[in-house]
Chain A
Amino acid sequence: MNMPIPEVNAAPTSTAARTTFAALWRPALVQAFVKLDPRQLKRSPVMLVVELTAIFTTLLCFVPQNGVTTAVAVQIALWLWFTVLFANFAEALAEGRGKARADSLKAGSQGLTARRRNSAGRFEVVAASALRKGDVVRVDAGEMIPGDGEVIEGIAAVNEAAITGESAPVIRESGGDRSAVTGNTRLVSDWLLIQITSNPGESTLDRMIALVEGAKRQKTPNEIALDILLIGLTLIFLVVVATLQPFAHFAGGSLPMVFLVALLVTLIPTTIGGLLSAIGIAGMDRLVRLNVIARSGRAVEAAGDVHVLLLDKTGTITFGNRRCSAVLAAPGVTARELAEGALLASLADDTAEGKSIVEYLRQLHDFNEPAAALLTPVAFSAETRLSGVDFEQRRYRKGAVDSLLAFVGMQRLDMPAPLAREVDKIAQSGGTPLLVCVDKRLLGVIHLKDVVKPGIRERFAELRKLGIRTVMVTGDNPLTAAAIAAEAGVDDVLAEATPEKKLARIRQEQNDGRLVAMCGDGANDAPALAQADVGMAMNDGTQAAREAANMVDLDSDPTKLLDVVQIGKELLVTRGALTTFSIANDVAKYFAILPALFAAIYPQLGVLNLMHLSSPQSAILSAIVFNALIIVVLIPLALRGVRVQAASAAHLLRRNLLIYGLGGLVVPFVGIKLIDMLLTALQLV
């Protein structure tokens, strides 16, 4: 699925913007050495084994060995160290990008204080880090909100740019669906009484940091499973290499220890073992850059697995508000007359609907629009349920069918037949008809409709290719819902949806073994968000929804659910691709090392030296060098992730097997040969 992940539109601060490679590689290089600490490497058992063998080989350099010059032994030891360092560097680089952003956020929270209400009902100043769940704090205009919480009193504008990158302030008030506030955001007006909802270390910001820091990151279920497999493979190769010496003794020879160590390291899956953590961190970082905060990596992985997406119609599939899509004149009215009337009736209308009418009509005709001062706006009132202007003693009005008919004093049945037909047609297609009149003269009808977002249909088609079904959830009646569903190309509709119906639908899908993803914002969405395998809450929604979901979208853009699915899939594909590549590599390494290893015992095994490597020593060194360098070569892929196109599983499998499986078989033959030529030319062996 070719869903380009949009770059974050506005980086919150200038420090976080410098996430370029140039700014990152230096600290990453330092980190690569810091991470040599075995306590840190413990998280990646394969690399720990490499480090232990590096230490062992370094010691072996001081022991003279048969058939291995000290120069070669030292080079092997060095490259073993490089192997660990390269892997550490990859992880540090992945961490760096997310950390730059997290650090700037963290900096903002340092030294933050809060006014906490004590038991006596008085406010006292405490450090923000001392706040606990349930504490109540008061924040005034110009102050930072000290932690995640829920507004219990007051209404205020909050600038959330530090978290979302969106500079326009948003309104937060107690009750309703706009009551949640996020720590480290700034109040720009009024005051709020906030009940803190998270303990230190559990806030949105903390979660964001924990996702992109290797040492704190929790491994995802699939990562754990893969880790077990890698450990298993390492054990197998340990047995293979450890038993070779007795076998060689039986054949009347002896193998140099350095070579055996080299064989072990080339065989164990160092490529994937070294990059596994970087892949995970980079995936989370991509999510963070999308401004989506996941409670854990587990949810992101589950997103790659979902079978069904439950998507709210409004805001996800359609623009939130209805727009003008056509105007139709009543019999005896010219198009120009209608257009002018409709334009005037809407000029003073500030609603999105009104603006869309003006926009639409301006595209159709050139008008000599009267100056705004000449118009007397008539605002929408609950009494008349009409809006419009008075201009040159004429009253231009637009409104719902029944209201406007009342205004012109006409019965519904007396409406001209062609106009009545159009009105019915609009209603049936899921749109809203608005009548327009000037004084008592009916001019025509405006067709307002839910406009499906451009490109959404194509995205659904891509999802369908990946086998993911989309279900549109809407409160509309089934007829209206079906019309929009057909236009948007969703697979199924849940019309007249209530929170109960939503929850029941999720349960039913899950009982059939499917994984369900959904997004929501209202408090009544909370149960469904909790039930769904992937639940994404909107940041401007309620605290209840944010608690129940396993992801929060800081930009409150439900369409991002599709991007999250994409990231989940990329994460899994990247891991699979590099695992396959890593294992396939071993074939070539055998053909390089085995003839070299047994050269003294069975020279005739030189037939297996398919690459015609120049000498046993250079063969083994080349394999080790290749093994280390391939990690560096693959860092960009690990950080960027393998693209997932919209295609069936069989197609994806065939394509990726060819690239990473077959590629993994062939590439090392070429690479090792080239390195061997280089080493020989440089006379390093």
Chain B
Amino acid sequence: MHSYDYAVLLAFFALVLIPAPWLGRFYYKVMEGKRTWMSPVLGPVERGCYRIAGVDPGKEQSWQKYAVALLAFNLAGFLMVFGVLQLQGYLPLNPQHLPGQEWSLAFNTAVSFMTNTNWQSYSGEASVSYLSQMIGLTVQNFVSAATGLAVLVALCRGIARRSASTVGNFWVDMTRATLYGLLPLCLLLALFLVWQGVPQTFTDYVHALTLQGADQTIPLGPAASQIAIKQLGTNGGGFFGVNSAHPFENPTAWSNLFEVSSIILIPVALVFTFGHYVKDLRQSRAIIACMLALFLIGGGTALWAESQANPALSNPQVEQTAPLEGKESRFGTTASVLWTVTTTAASNGSVNNMHDSLNPISSMVALVNMMVGEVIFGGVGAGLYGMLLNVLIAVFLAGLMIGRTPEYLGKKLQAREVQLLVATLLVMPVGVLVLSALATSLPGPAAAVSNPGAHGFSQVLYAYTSASANNGSAFAGFGANTPYHNVMIGLGMLIGRFGYILPVLALAGCLAMKKSAPVGQNSFPTHGPLFATLLVVTILLVGGLTFLPALALGPIAEHLSMGF
């Protein structure tokens, strides 16, 4: 590593960790309808939205009503994207005259963007019109992130409130999350990206004659606005097929730094928002410490692995450096690894290098980041509510050892809560293992795998992990655009999204109703290094025990076969 690499890492952590506490407090104020410095400007807009939609912002919902509103809103979003993608051939803003998508692809894409996954079985410039990108995909990029944030604040309220029957108003939470939480930051990032050279235009693709005399089509489009939310909303769906490795999506080292930092900015800030909800920032610090520890363990391992020479090529005649295959040479190893670790940790499906070419161990880091349920910062809202589920599991497992019924922040964890926790624990094993087992054992679907053996298995495993974890990044080398995989990956994304959201909302409702015991000397300590360690171990243990056999057959076997 050079001084440049250290500078990148330092700048990345500074850009994320310095503004996060402030931003977290801002989000708390905004989501609770308190006055902020933005209120004079956005307040009238917010009230206008409620007036048009006929929503009474003062009226809160029970968790059931909240969940129904959320499902209805997501279904509507899905139908709209599905419709637009199929009908884009007849709709305006389609200068390339792209035809409508095939139904299974449209289904996959619509589910993918609704669930904040952004798995792409298509290539943007080749199959999606400007209109579809803007009113279909970009809109979902915003509202899927806002949905995650809404579910999170519902859970925060559930934990913080006492003997309450409501968890908030879905419509109000959605409006505030989008209006104050996402739009202003996206505007800033989009302007920055335009300055760095990302296109934002409605004009046709440019045709050029290269020096060799060949015809070249250079795709353009309203990219900057979508890329901003793609990163900030932990979406990751590229405007162009090769995503952030494309020079128009990620033109400079500066754009690379700001894009990668903006991926986890909001997830980190939300941990502080939680601390404000429960009036105890020590809780936030313990969770951040746990997330950072897992991030650094993964990042360190991947950086180490990517700096190893490939033993298969070892030969005294050949001088090897760190392998650069599949990496964007403009950014080099460190920035590529940082991107991979950050995106897989944070449920962002964007890539600036090809994961298929990663060293098996670093690809395992990416897999594990997703397999633990995208809780290492994770998606907007989704990461923290996933992490809080882990906190509750850790509290339930170890809480008994202090001789009391397990309690988190004064709320007792009883049969009902454990039932809901167990439901979420089953999501990843079912989504990843069952769907992968189906894909590998059916002859047709298995043929989509381009490599035999352990690497091929990693490809399948990665695809279904990415779907179930709502990450959306691809391992490449896997021909996913078949009706079978489109539908099944779509199913994985639905399981991964709503398999968490519904139990989390139910949990919010049932915690809100509980009385809260005073937190004191005899309550389970959920802050401090001991708890942070316990949390790290719980996450690794639960994830590890579930996925170690599968990982052994994929990246671990591949790593050992290469002769490391």
Contact = CB atoms under 8 A, between A and B. Distances in A.
Interface of A: 221-222, 224-226, 228-229, 231-233, 235-237, 239-240, 242-244, 246-252, 267, 301, 304-305, 307, 466-468, 512-515, 568-570, 572-573, 575-577, 579-580, 583-584, 586-587, 590, 594, 597-598, 601-602, 604-605, 607-608, 644, 648-650, 652-654, 656-657, 660-661
Given A228-B419, A583-B397, A250 B404 contact: no
Nearest to A598: B552
Nearest to B514: A513
Given A604-B561, A652-B402, A229 B522 contact: no
A466 B544 CA distance: 35
Nearest to B547: A240
B433 interface: yes
A250 B524 contact: no
Contact of B517 (A244, A514, A576): A514
A566 B104 CA distance: 62
Nearest to A576: B400
A243 B396 contact: no
Contact of B400 (A252, A467, A572, A661): A572
Interface centre among A231, A573, A653 (most CB of B within 10 A): A653
B396 A580 contact: no
Contacts of A570: 403
Contacts of A601: 553, 557
A660 B401 contact: yes
Contacts, number: 209
Contacts of B414: 221-222, 225
Contacts of B446: 250
Interface string B385-397: 0000000000011
B541 A650 contact: no
B410 A513 contact: yes
Residue picked from A232, A249, A605, most chain B C-beta under 10 Å: A232
20 contacts: A228-B419, A228-B422, A232-B418, A232-B422, A240-B546, A244-B549, A246-B438, A251-B454, A466-B522, A513-B162, A572-B400, A576-B399, A576-B402, A583-B545, A587-B544, A598-B553, A602-B552, A657-B530, A657-B534, A661-B537
Contact of B404 (A229, A232, A304, A605): A304
A605 B396 contact: no
B437 interface: yes
B426 A235 contact: yes
Contacts of B417: 225
B333 to A, nearest CB: 26
Contacts of A654: 530
Contacts of B440: 246-247, 249-250
A597 B550 CA distance: 12
Contacts of B545: 236-237, 240, 267, 583, 586-587, 590
A243 to B, nearest CB: 4
A653 B530 contact: yes
Nearest to A242: B437
A586 B547 CA distance: 13
Given A240-B549, A248-B553, A586-B545, A569 B403 contact: yes
B23 interface: no
B398 interface: yes
Contacts of B436: 243, 247
B401 A576 contact: yes
B83 interface: no
A584 to B, nearest CB: 8
10 nearest CB pairs, A to B: A467-B522, A576-B400, A232-B422, A569-B403, A604-B560, A243-B437, A656-B401, A250-B440, A576-B401, A246-B441
A228 B418 contact: yes
A657 B401 contact: yes
B393 to A, nearest CB: 8
B418 to A, nearest CB: 4
Residue picked from B422, B457, B534, most chain A C-beta under 10 Å: B422
B266 to A, nearest CB: 31
B127 interface: no
A650 B440 CA distance: 47
A579 B560 contact: no
Contact of B518 (A252, A307, A605, A657): A307
Contact of A594 (B396, B453, B548): B548
B553 A602 contact: yes
Contacts of A244: 549-550
Nearest to A577: B401
A459 B477 CA distance: 68
A247 B522 CA distance: 47
B522 A307 contact: yes
A476 to B, nearest CB: 29
B511 to A, nearest CB: 13
A22 to B, nearest CB: 32
A527 B220 CA distance: 78
A236 B429 contact: yes
B178 interface: no
A305 B399 CA distance: 12
Contacts of B481: none
Contact of A608 (B403, B441, B518, B552): B552
B405 A222 contact: yes
Given A222-B400, A248-B553, A580-B397, A304 B548 contact: no
B94 interface: no
A602 B400 contact: no
Contacts of B515: 513
Contacts of A568: 403
Contacts of B74: none
Considering residues A247, A305, A597, which has the most beta carbons from chain B within 10 angstroms of its beta carbon? A247
B556 interface: yes
B164 to A, nearest CB: 14
A598 B436 CA distance: 18
A649 B402 contact: yes
Contacts of B433: 239-240, 243
A572 B403 contact: yes
A653 B398 contact: yes
A587 B413 CA distance: 26
Given A243-B436, A246-B437, A605-B560, A594 B400 contact: no
